[in-house]
Chain A
Amino acid sequence: MNSQTPVIQVDGLSRSYRDVAALQDVTFTLQPNVICGLLGRNGAGKTTLMRMLTGQAFPSAGSVRLFGENPVENSAVLQQICFVSEAQRYPDGFQARHILAGAPWFFSNWDAAFADELVGKFRLPLKRDVKKLSRGQQSALGVIVGLASRASITIFDEPYLGLDAVARHTFYDTLLADYAEQPRTIVLSTHLIDEVSNLLEHVLVLDEGRLLLDQSAESLRGSASAVAGRAGDVDSFAEGRQVLHRDTLGGLATVTIAGRLTAADHRAAAAANLEIAPVSFQQLIVDLSTRSAPAPAVASVVHE
């Protein structure tokens, strides 16, 4: 992480709909030129947060600053943002070619040649009514707009819906290659955590409207281990450690333990016939999101 001025600064952001709190007191900053994963279960508040980041919805409390300014009705800020929403609506009769023709009028970094190349890669039909495109083709259109806009802040809200495995990997590869050439801030909301785990440099996890995790992906990787063996031995090993998750099957148990294990821990585990395995990114997020104990406002699984 660097110490540059943050491009996104969110402070005490809350949003309620009648008696439902969609977001509660969310605070974080994002530095320029990172790929950030915005993760969380359905209804966690990801889309609400992204809509407020892009001035499409209004906070009940707190503030959003992009490049130091409020994005609401702020043309200068909005011109640097591209928000690709999975729920994007298109006017009747609009075809992909109409959308790709209009995009450069509003995204001044628009790269038409890159857009054309992506149309070929995703095999997107240009002359068919967008409403008649398959879910995957509509997602591909969003991905093309998001990538070719080369906006300083590009936000993708579940951009992969309906995309087949080949198209998803085309998206990830292209995103990474283009990001290497043209660094910018990319926020990616997704459920397919393991698929994107290698892409992410920073992770935000929302759960029930609260920010559960705000951490660099690097520090998160390998920051927890799964320990499996006989239940009694596992529990003895886990005693005094932060257990994120526990599974039992007969007399066997598996626990996810936060923090990096030392060489001595590994020796102790081997002596007790316990197996230690790394925890996948996805499993870690699942464990964090399903913990029964109330989570701290912003957790960190990096242990002292």
Chain B
Amino acid sequence: MTAISTAPPVPRLSNRRRTIKVMRLHLVNRLTYVGIPWIITGVALVVSIVVALLISASVPEANRQDALQGMSYSWAVLSPLWYLAVVGVQAVNAVFPFAMGFSITRREYALGTLLTYVVIAAFNATGWAILTEIERAINESGVVFHHFTALWFGEAGAGTVWLSLFSLQILLFAVTSAFGAVYARWRAMGMLVLWVSVALVVLGLMAFAVLTGMAPPFLDWLMGMPAPSFFAALLLPSALAFALGWGALRRAPLRG
């Protein structure tokens, strides 16, 4: 290759292919996005089973069913989500500088990361929804046990369970990576301004709702909202958070 041309010697890959490659890069070490959430799921399930066995061993048979029903208030089903919040921060904090080292543009990184979040959230939600259905079938056979069928997952249909798990994951990913992006762009001062802004917006909305007397009808409306609509609506703040994250990241410098 001695002839020189100013035309790029490397074929231009389409953005779509690069976006998919960014997703592959996120998933090249599957432990982060797939392995650990499912290890947490497994460990939480084992803990729930042990708790159920302890309840069975310590509560007289007459009260056992009621005691085991109490497990339907367990938050164990949501335990992998807290880890995914960390993944959202790390995706910007660690993967973004790494991706830039691979000559990936910020736009390709952002779109590839969003695609990764959607695929992973759908994958996890499908897995957890299937397990919820299995647990429901076990309960219907007479064995009382609630791990996946806890909180609202007990009563909701399979579609709602899937949607709620999907939306919650997307919301967590979007919000935490938005915080990560604001930090990448403006460091500690950006964090300070963001937290103060969040506090002011929340306070302002509360003040508006209370002072205009809109709080009770708003809460009634929120509580009366069908679960699928509520969880579908969560995708709106997710989109806003993602837009904020992109706004911060598009001019974020890479620091040492």
Given that A56-B253, A89-B94, A91-B90 are known contacts, is A109 also in contact with B10, CB under 8 Å in the complex? yes
Most chain A CB neighbours (cut-off 10 Å) among B8, B32, B102, B105: B102
Rounded to whole angstroms, the CA-CA distance of A51 and B10 in the bound complex is 21
Given that A67-B6, A91-B98 are known contacts, is A78 also in contact with B29, CB under 8 Å in the complex? no
Rounded to whole angstroms, the CA-CA distance of A102 and B102 in the bound complex is 9
Q: From DSSP, what is the main secondary structure of chain A's interface residues?
A: loop
Q: Are B10 and A105 in contact (CB under 8 A)?
A: no
Is B224's beta carbon under 8 Å from chain A? no
Q: Are B98 and A75 in contact (CB under 8 A)?
A: no
Rounded to whole angstroms, the CA-CA distance of A201 and B253 in the bound complex is 31
* Shortest Cβ gap from A261 to chain B (Å): 37
> What number of B residues sit within 8 Å (CB to CB) of A?
38
Interface residue from B9, B32, B95, B254 paired with A57 (Cβ < 8 Å): B254
Is B64's beta carbon under 8 Å from chain A? no
Q: Are A75 and B8 in contact (CB under 8 A)?
A: no
Interface-located stretch among B12-20, B53-61, B196-204, B212-220: B12-20
Is A77's beta carbon under 8 Å from chain B? yes
What are 22 A-B contacts with C-beta separation under 8 Å? A58-B251, A58-B253, A67-B6, A73-B105, A75-B105, A76-B8, A78-B104, A78-B105, A80-B8, A80-B9, A85-B101, A85-B256, A88-B101, A91-B29, A92-B94, A93-B29, A102-B28, A107-B102, A107-B103, A151-B103, A152-B8, A183-B1
Chain A residues in the interface with B (C-beta under 8 A): 4-5, 32-33, 47, 51, 54-58, 67-68, 73-85, 87-95, 98, 101-103, 105-109, 151-152, 182-183
Known pairs A88-B101, A91-B98, A182-B1 / 20 extra A-B pairs, C-beta < 8 Å: A47-B256, A51-B254, A54-B103, A56-B100, A56-B253, A58-B253, A67-B8, A73-B106, A73-B250, A75-B18, A78-B104, A78-B105, A89-B94, A89-B97, A91-B95, A92-B90, A93-B29, A98-B28, A105-B24, A106-B21
